[in-house]
Amino acid sequence: MEVVMKKTLLLGIMMVLPLALSLSQFKQKCIELAFSGSVSSWTTSSTFSGQGNSESRAIVIVSSTIGYFVADGVSIEGEVGVVAMEKQNPSQYVLAGLSYTYSISELNIAPFFHAGYGVSNSVQLPTLGGLPVRTMNDMNVKVLNVGGGMKFLVSSGAALRLELNYRSHSWSENINYSYYPYSMPSNVDYKYSNVGLLIGFSILI
C-alpha cells in the first residue's frame, strides 16, 4: 500500500510540475535561479634592451542570481559572485537590482535588461608590469552593474542566457604625500570599468 501511495504521489508531481513551470515563465510570483560565468585571458608583454618577455593569466568569473517577479516581467534580484585569477586570491561581490524580461513565446526567446548596485572586496587592476593584482580586502569597492541580452527557452522551466555586461568599480583612499619638511594629505578617487560577455542558464520555478 505504501509503495502504491509513493508511486501515485510521484506520478502526480510529474503531471503537475510541467504545468506549473509553463505557467510560471516570467510571471508574477515566479522565481528565477540563474547561473552565469565567463573565462578570459589577460596577456602582457614587454621589451627591455632588446629582450622580450610575455605572460598570460586566466580569469574566471562565476555568479549566481535569484530573482523574484513582483509583476509580469519585472523582478527584484540578488546576485553573488566570485572573480578568480591565476596566482591571485579570488575576490567576491554582492549585488542587488531590478530586471525586466519580455517574453516572446512564439519564438521561445526573451530579451532582458537589468541594473544593480553593490559592493566588492577587491578589484583586479594592472600594475606597472601589466598584470592585474588584488587591491584590497575590505568590502568597500562600490560596483555598478548593467547588462542586457537574451534568454533562449529550451523547456518550460529552463533557459540558456547570453548577456553583454558592463561593470564599473569605484573606491577612494587617503594618501599622505610627504617630502621633508612638507606633508600633503590627499584623497584619491579611482574608477575602473569593463565590458564582458556572460554565458549561463536559468531555472524557472
pLDDT at 60: 85
Residues 24, 75: Cα–Cα separation, whole Å:
13
CA distances from 178 to 95, 183, 186 (A): 38, 4, 11
Judged by average pLDDT, the poorest of 25-29, 170-174, 199-203 is 170-174
The CA angle 77-81-82, to the nearest 5 degrees, is 175
| Tens-digit pLDDT profile for residues 121-151 | 876 655 544 444 455 667 788 899 999 999 9
pLDDT at 46: 61
Question: Mean pLDDT over all residues of the chain?
Answer: 78
Residues 95, 65: Cα–Cα separation, whole Å:
9
| Tens-digit pLDDT profile for residues 21-65 | 444 578 888 999 999 998 877 666 666 666 666 667 778 889 999
pLDDT at 3: 47
pLDDT at 63: 93
> In 3-state terms, what secondary structure has residue 130?
coil
pLDDT bracket for residue 172 (50, 70, 90): confident
Q: Which helix (H) or strand (E) holds 23?
A: helix 2-24
Set of cell numbers at residue 64: 549566481
Question: Does the pTM of the predicted model rise above 0.75?
Answer: no
pLDDT at 17: 42
